[in-house]
C-alpha cells in the first residue's frame, strides 16, 4: 500500500492511507542508506507488519522543519514590530523558490503604521503582487483559508511576526508549535524528533515554524539570480546570456531598476546576497 507519513516521533511513523492511520516502523535498511523517512513522504508500507518498505521520490525536502513534498510556504511578514525587512523577505522568497515551493506572503501588523508609512508599504505590497506572488494581509482570514486545500503548507517568518496569532485566527482549536514562546524555549530542549502534519482546511500544515535557520546553504550565485523571479522576465535583453546583472555593461535588469520597473530594494538585496555567496 502507498500512504503518506503525517507524523514522526523518534522512530515511529504515522502513515495516512485512504483516511486510515497506521503506526509503522521503518526497516533497518534506511539506516544503512542514511535515508530517514520524513513527515510528508509518500511511502510503500506493509499493512500486516506495519512496516515502511520504500520511500517514494521527493519533490523537495527541508531540514528545519524536517518535512518533505511541501507545496506552499506562507511567509508571515511583520511591517510593525518587528519592523519590515525587505532583505529577510527577499531572502525567504529566494530560498523557497529554489526549493520548488510556492511562496505566499502574508503581511501582518499594518495597524501599527502611520498613514505615510502605510502608503510606503503599499508600494511594496503592490510590487510583490505585480511580479506574480499571492499576497494577503493577516486580516484576510477567509481568503487565507483557501490556500491550504490539497496542499502541504509550512508557516515561516521572523519571530514575533504573528504566526501563532494568525493560526489562532484561522482555527482556535489548533495548538501548533508555532507559538513564539515555545519557539524561543524549545530549541535544544527536546532531543526527540517530533514532526507532525496537521489537517487544516482540507490540507496539511507542518506544526513547526519553517526556515528558522536562514542561509543560502546550498545555493550558488546563479541559483540566487534565477530565483529573483521578475529578473527572468528581462534577462533575455541583457547583452550577455549569462549576465549576473552586476557589473556587466548593457544589462537590461539594471536598466529596469533605473526606470523603476524593478524595485530598487529587490535589486540591492540581490547584490547583497550574491556577494555573500562564494
Ligand atoms: Zn543583466
What's residue 174's pLDDT? 67
Q: Residue for cell digits 499571492?
A: 134
- pTM equals 0.88
Q: What share of the chain is helix, strand, coil (3-state, %, to 5)?
A: 35, 25, 40
pLDDT in tens, 111-152: 999 999 999 999 999 999 999 999 999 999 999 999 999 999
What's residue 66's pLDDT? 86
Which residues lie near ion ligand 1 (Cβ < 5 Å)?
238, 243, 245, 251, 253
CA of 245 to the centre of ligand 1 (A): 3
- Rounded to a whole number of angstroms, the CA Rg of the chain reads 21
Lowest mean pLDDT among 13-22, 170-179, 189-198: 170-179
Distance CA 271, CA 247 (A): 10
CA of 134 to the centre of ligand 1 (A): 26
CA of 265 to the centre of ligand 1 (A): 16
What's residue 176's pLDDT? 57
Q: What is the 3-state secondary structure (H, E, C) of 99-112?
A: CCCEEEEEEECHHH
Amino acid at each position: 500500500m502507498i500512504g503518506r507519513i503525517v507524523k514522526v516521533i523518534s522512530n515511529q511513523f504515522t502513515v495516512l492511507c485512504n483516511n486510515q492511520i497506521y503506526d509503522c516502523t521503518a526497516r533497518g535498511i534506511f539506516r544503512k542508506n542514511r535515508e530517514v523517512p520524513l513527515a510528508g513522504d509518500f511511502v510503500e508500507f506493509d499493512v500486516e507488519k506495519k512496516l515502511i518498505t520504500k520511500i517514494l521520490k521527493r519533490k523537495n525536502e527541508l531540514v528545519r522543519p524536517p518535512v518533505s513534498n511541501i507545496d506552499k510556504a506562507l511567509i508571515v511578514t511583520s511591517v510593525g514590530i518587528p519592523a519590515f525587512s525587505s532583505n529577510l523577505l527577499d531572502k525567504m522568497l529566494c530560498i523557497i523558490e529554489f526549493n520548488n515551493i510556492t511562496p505566499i506572503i502574508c503581511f501582518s501588523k499594518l495597524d501599527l503604521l502611520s498613514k505615510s508609512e502605510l502608503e510606503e508599504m503599499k508600494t511594496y505590497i503592490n510590487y510583490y503582487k505585480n511580479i506574480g506572488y499571492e499576497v494577503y494581509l493577516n486580516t484576510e482570514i477567509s481568503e487565507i483559508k483557501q490556500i491550504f486545500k490539497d496542499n502541504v503548507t509550512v508557516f515561516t517568518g521572523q519571530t514575533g511576526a504573528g504566526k501563532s496569532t494568525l493560526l489562532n485566527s484561522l482555527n482556535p482549536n489548533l495548538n501548533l508549535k508555532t507559538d513564539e514562546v515555545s519557539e524561543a524555549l524549545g530549541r535544544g530542549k527536546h532531543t526527540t524528533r517530533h514532526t507532525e502534519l496537521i489537517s487544516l482546511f482540507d490540507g496539511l500544515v507542518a506544526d513547526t515554524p519553517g526556515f528558522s535557520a536562514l542561509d543560502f546553504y546550498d545555493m550558488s550565485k546563479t541559483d540566487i539570480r534565477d530565483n529573483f523571479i521578475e529578473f527572468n522576465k528581462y534577462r533575455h535583453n541583457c547583452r550577455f546570456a549569462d549576465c549576473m546583472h552586476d557589473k556587466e555593461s548593457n544589462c537590461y535588469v539594471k536598466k529596469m531598476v533605473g526606470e523603476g520597473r524593478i524595485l530598487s530594494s529587490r535589486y540591492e538585496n540581490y547584490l547583497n546576497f550574491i556577494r555573500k555567496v562564494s
